[in-house]
Structure 1
C-alpha cells in the first residue's frame, strides 16, 4: 500500500514575489539611520512616505507613487520636528493626511497637498504634546475618524482626538517598560501591545483596563511584536531564550499556551509582521534580512502554514505595505511591499499566478475602504463599528480628498465642556473636525447632529445600493456564461 504526502490545498500556495524594474524604484533616498525598530516607511494609494536623514531635526519624504527614478537631493521634505522622526502612519480615512512621532516628544499631523510637495512642509495642522520622552509609535484608529494613538519611551499610551487637539485617554500605568508596538483590533474596540518586559497585553483603551496579559510570550530579550488578526486572535513575533526567532498564535480567551509556535532561524533582526485580513496571510520581514516569509493563518491545526519566501540580495532597512485598495487587481496582485535599502526604495509585488483576465472574486473579497464608520465622538461614547467595506471589482481609483479645514479658536469661547475639563485646556487651540471640515460653534450642535444622522443614513443607502449592484453583476455574469 503506497502512502503519498497530502499537500494542503490553498489558493495562496503559489504566491510569488517579484521586485519591479529598476526604473520603477525610488533612487537616491537617504533612509534614516536612527536605531529604532520602526518600519521607516508608510504607503497608501497616492503617496509613499519614507523617514530620511535630516541635519538638525527630523524629516520624512512624501513622494507621489508615480514619482519613480532618481529623486533630486533638493526634493522638499516634511521637516517640522526638531528631533529625528521615529514613526509615521497614513490616515486610513484621508489619503492626504499623515501623522508622525519624533524624538522631540511630539506627535504632528500633516496635510499633504493633492499633487505632493513643491516646497518644504514645516507647518503641521496640529501638534499633539503630552509625552515626556520620545514618541516611537503612532497609529490611527481603524474605523473612527480623527482618533490617533501614540506611545512613547515614557511607557505611556495616549489617545487623541485630532479634530480638537484633545487628549482623550492617558494610559500611564499599564506598561512598566518600553512599548515595542501597538496594534488595534478589527473594529478598534481594543488594542494589543508588546513590551520590553516580555509581556503581551490586550487593553480596553476607553476603560483603561487590562483585558488579558501573557508574561514571557517570547522568552528572549530582543524586541517582540504583537498584532491583532481579524478574528480576534493575536499573532506575535519574538525570540526564544536561545535567541532563535519565533512566531506564535494566541487565543485571547486563554493565553496560557500558544495555539501554535514556530521557530524560524537564529538571525538577530526584529521580525516585522504585516497582516492582510482579507486573505489571512501574514508577511514577516526581518530588519536586516533580505527575505520576506509569508504564512497563511487558518482555523485548523497547525494554524500557521508556511507558504513561501521571497529572497533578494540586499538587506532591508525598513518596509511599507500598500493597503488593498491600492493594488492592481487586474494582475492578481494580493500584496505590495516597499522595501527600503540604504539609498533607495524598491517595490515588491506579490502575485497569485492565474491565467484568467476576469475579476477574481475569491482573491478580492470586499475590503476596508477610505470612509470612516464612526466619528471620534461616537467612539468615545462607547460605540464600535467594523470598517466600511468597498468592492475592488471596479479597480480602486483614488477619490478627490477633502482638505483639512482648520478652524482655530480659543477654547474659552467653546461651549463644549469636554475640552475645558482637561488641565491646561484654557490656553489650547482646537481644530474643528479636521477631516470632514464641518464646524459647529456654540448652539449649532443640534444642526450637527442632524447632518450626522443624514450622513449615516446615506452611508447605509450607498452600501445597500453597492450590494445590489454586485448581485446584479453576478446575475449578468451568469446569464452571459449561459448558467441561467
Structure 2
C-alpha cells in the first residue's frame, strides 16, 4: 500500500444535517411511480411533487400550484429567475409558474393563510405524459421536455404555441436528460439501454448513440464528461464516466447490489454525488484525470425518496459550504450541508471556482438562430461576472441507427447573507496545511550591509530549516495515512455491527 495520500482540497469534506427549523415536516410526497428526483430548488424556493389524492386538493402550509389534472412528474427552476418554475404532468401538459414574493408576506405567523398560484403559461406538449422538464443552462426561456411518445421537445417560452424542435430516435421511454454546461449538447438515457447525444439545432436525430449500462434504469449528469448511473447485467449498481465526443467508456465503478436507483449530481467543482433511492447515505467522489476518487459518505438512518442540490451561487461561503442537498424523506425535507473544514474565516478561493450566474448568455431567439456563447460565471467572493470556457461542440454527422397532483412551492426564510435554510456547522478538524518552502537568498538578493560570511550562515540555516520541514511533512503524511486507516477500520466495524 502506498504511504502517500492523494492530495485533494476536498478530501476532508463532510456532510452535516441542518437544524430542524431549516427543514420541512408533514409534507405529502407524491405517490407516482414515475422515476424523477421529486424535488427541485432555486436559491430562494423549493418545489415538491405533492400528493393531493384521497379527498381532493388538501390545504397546505404554503401556496400551492394546482392546475394539473394528473400527477406532477417533474419540476425545474429557471437558472436565471429564482421565482420561475416549470412543471411536467401526467396530463401531457407543462405549466410555467411565477412565484409572487408578496404571497409569502407574513408566512409562518399566526392567522396567515396561503393563497394558491395560477400558471402564467400552459403548454400542450403531448397527448401522453410529460416525464421531464429541464431549462437551458445559458439561454433564457428555453425549455426541454420529454414525452410519453419517446421524443424531446424544445420550447421558446415567449412563443409556447409550437415546439421549436423535436428530437427523436428513442426506442423506448426516456429516463433522463441533461444539458452540458454550455447548452450545445443535450444527452438522454432510455430504457433501450442507450445513451444519445443531440445537437438540438442540427436536426432531430442524435449525433451520437452509444451503449449504456446493462440494466434498463439509468440517470445522467453532464459536464466535460458524461456521468451516468445504472445497473449491470448482474444487477450491480454502477457509476460510469463517458467521453463526450465518441461516447466511449472512460471509467466504470461498481457501487453495490442494492436495487434503488442512484441519482447522480455533478457539481462544477468536479464532485459527483450519488444518492440512492431507498438509501440513507450519499456517496461522493472527486473526478480527476478520468478517475473517480471516493471522498467520504454521508450516512443517515432515514431513507431518501428524492433529492436536489442548491445552485452553487446560493451557498454560504463563510462556512466553507461547497454543496447543499435537500433530501426528501417519507414526510419531511432535510437540508444537508457539505463543508470543507478550514480554520480561516476568509474566502477560500481554492474550493470556490466561479459558479454559473443568474445572467443568461443568450436569448431564446439567439439560441434557436444558431448562436453559441460560453456561460456567464459569478465570483462567489465579490459577485463579479466573468465568461466561461468556449462551448463544446461535436461533429453533427447523424449516428446509426395523481388525481390533481399539484406542485408545491415552499419558501425558505431569507437570511442576510445566504439563502435559507442555512446550515452552518464546522465540527471536523481542519485538514493539515503545508507551509511554503523557505526562500534561500542568492547573492543578488543579499541584504545590504552583510558580508559573504553572513550570507553563507544564512544559507546553512535555510538548508537546516528545509530539512526539518521535509521531515515534518513526512510525519504529516504518515499521520494522514494512519487517520485513513482508522477511518477504514471504523467503517468496517460499523458494517459488521449493522450486519
Specify if TM > 0.5. yes
Equivalent of residue 288 in structure 1, options 274, 278, 282: 278
Aligned to 1:304: 292
Aligned to 1:264, the other structure's residue is in SS state strand
Equivalent of residue 193 in structure 2, options 191, 194, 198: 198
Instruction: Classify 1:6/1:59 alpha carbon distance in 2 versus 1 (closer, same or farther; 3 Å).
Output: farther
Equivalent of residue 315 in structure 1, options 296, 303, 306: 303
Aligned to 1:54: 52
CA distance in 1, matches of 2:326, 2:23: 9
Aligned to 1:210, the other structure's residue is in SS state coil
Note the alpha carbon deviations across 1:138-179, whole angstroms, 9 max, x for none: 000001111000001211211000011143434353112100
CA distance in 1, matches of 2:187, 2:138: 16
Equivalent of residue 240 in structure 2, options 248, 257, 262: 248
Superposition map of 1:207-218 within 5 A: 207=202, 208-215=204-211, 217-218=212-213
Note the alpha carbon deviations across 1:338-387, whole angstroms, 9 max, x for none: 10111110000000010101101111122111111110000011011122
Aligned to 1:238: 230
Aligned to 2:5: 7
TM-score, length-normalised on structure 1? 0.74
Aligned to 1:200, the other structure's residue is in SS state strand
Is 1:326 aligned with 2:314? yes
CA distance in 1, matches of 2:103, 2:339: 29
Equivalent of residue 112 in structure 1, options 88, 99, 108: 99
Superposition map of 1:332-371 within 5 A: 332-371=320-359
TM-score, length-normalised on structure 2? 0.72
Aligned to 1:378, the other structure's residue is in SS state helix
Report how far residue 305 of structure 1 moved. 1.1
Would the aligned equivalents of 1:291 and 1:312 in 2 still touch at CA under 8 Å?
yes
Aligned to 1:141: 136
Aligned to 1:347, the other structure's residue is in SS state strand
Instruction: Classify 1:281/1:145 alpha carbon distance in 2 versus 1 (closer, same or farther; 3 Å).
Output: same
Would the aligned equivalents of 2:155 and 2:165 in 1 still touch at CA under 8 Å?
no
Equivalent of residue 89 in structure 2, options 78, 102, 120: 102
CA distance in 1, matches of 2:142, 2:155: 6
Note the alpha carbon deviations across 1:123-143, whole angstroms, 9 max, x for none: 211111131211110000001
Would the aligned equivalents of 2:137 and 2:181 in 1 still touch at CA under 8 Å?
yes
Note the alpha carbon deviations across 1:412-459, whole angstroms, 9 max, x for none: xxxxxxxxxxxxxxxxxxxxxxxxxxxxxxxxxxxxxxxxxxxxxxxx
CA distance in 2, matches of 1:86, 1:319: 14
Gaps of 5+ in 2: 105-112, 385-499
Note the alpha carbon deviations across 1:60-109, whole angstroms, 9 max, x for none: 9xxxxxxxxxxx84543111111110000000010110000000100000
CA distance in 1, matches of 2:151, 2:2: 54
Would the aligned equivalents of 1:59 and 1:85 in 2 still touch at CA under 8 Å?
no
CA distance in 2, matches of 1:316, 1:130: 30
Would the aligned equivalents of 2:103 and 2:115 in 1 still touch at CA under 8 Å?
no
CA distance in 1, matches of 2:57, 2:78: 18
Report how far residue 299 of structure 1 moved. 2.1
Is 1:27 aligned with 2:25? yes
CA distance in 1, matches of 2:362, 2:379: 20
Would the aligned equivalents of 2:138 and 2:375 in 1 still touch at CA under 8 Å?
yes
Q: Which has the higher contact order (CA 8 A, sep 6+)?
A: 2
Aligned to 2:72: 85
CA distance in 2, matches of 1:315, 1:342: 8
Aligned to 2:313, the other structure's residue is in SS state helix
**Bigger CA radius of gyration:** 2
Report how far residue 263 of structure 1 moved. 0.4
Would the aligned equivalents of 1:59 and 1:84 in 2 still touch at CA under 8 Å?
no
Aligned to 1:379, the other structure's residue is in SS state helix
Aligned to 2:172: 177
Aligned to 1:274: 265
Report how far residue 273 of structure 1 moved. 0.6
Aligned to 1:132: 127
Would the aligned equivalents of 1:332 and 1:352 in 2 still touch at CA under 8 Å?
yes
Is 1:263 aligned with 2:259? no
Instruction: Classify 1:127/1:220 alpha carbon distance in 2 versus 1 (closer, same or farther; 3 Å).
Output: same
CA distance in 1, matches of 2:140, 2:327: 29
Note the alpha carbon deviations across 1:238-292, whole angstroms, 9 max, x for none: 0000101001111133334x11110000111111111111x10010111111111
Report how far residue 45 of structure 1 moved. 1.3
Aligned to 2:14: 16
CA distance in 1, matches of 2:5, 2:319: 26
